[in-house]
């Protein structure tokens, strides 16, 4: 079964583990939904996606990171949904690092 479209890239899974994500199966295939749920439950971070459309076409996907810990952050507009997920997760992990080192007020 091809998990690539619905799973987090391996290099990002490694970063997740370093940030405290512990739900990694032995095959290291982690679903996006599991990671987003972990961000919500453990860190109060939510990644919002909005489809941007023009008449008869999808222009791209707009990503935002929100939390009660800081104002919503615009991540970007992406043609590829997968790239938006990866970049949004990286932004969230950077915020977690900053919060853990008390560099974010």
* pLDDT per residue as tens digits for the range 54-103: 999 999 999 999 998 888 899 999 998 889 999 999 999 988 888 888 76
The number of residues making up the chain comes to: 105
According to the model, what pLDDT value does residue 2 have? 41
pLDDT 10s digits, 4-47? 457 888 888 888 888 888 888 778 788 889 999 999 999 999 99
DSSP letter string, 22-90: ----TT---BHHHHHHHHHHHH-EEEEEEEEEETTEEEEEEEEEEETTEEEEEEEEESSHHHHHHHHHH
pTM of the predicted model as reported, rounded to 2 decimal places = 0.80
Residue 61, CB-side half-sphere exposure with 13 Å CA sphere: 14
Which domains, ranges and CATH numbers included, belong to the chain? 4-100 (3.30.160)
């Amino acid at each position: 079964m091809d998990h690539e479209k619905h799973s987090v890239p391996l290099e990002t899974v490694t970063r997740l583990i370093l940030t405290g994500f512990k739900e990694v199966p032995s095959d290291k295939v982690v679903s996006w939904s599991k990671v987003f749920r972990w961000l919500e439950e453990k860190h109060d971070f939510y990644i919002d996606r909005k489809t941007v459309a023009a008449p008869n076409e999808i222009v791209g996907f707009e990503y935002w990171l929100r939390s009660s810990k800081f104002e919503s952050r615009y991540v970007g507009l992406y043609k590829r949904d997968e790239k938006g997920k990866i970049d949004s997760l990286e932004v969230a992990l950077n915020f977690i690092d900053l919060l853990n080192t008390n560099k974010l007020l």
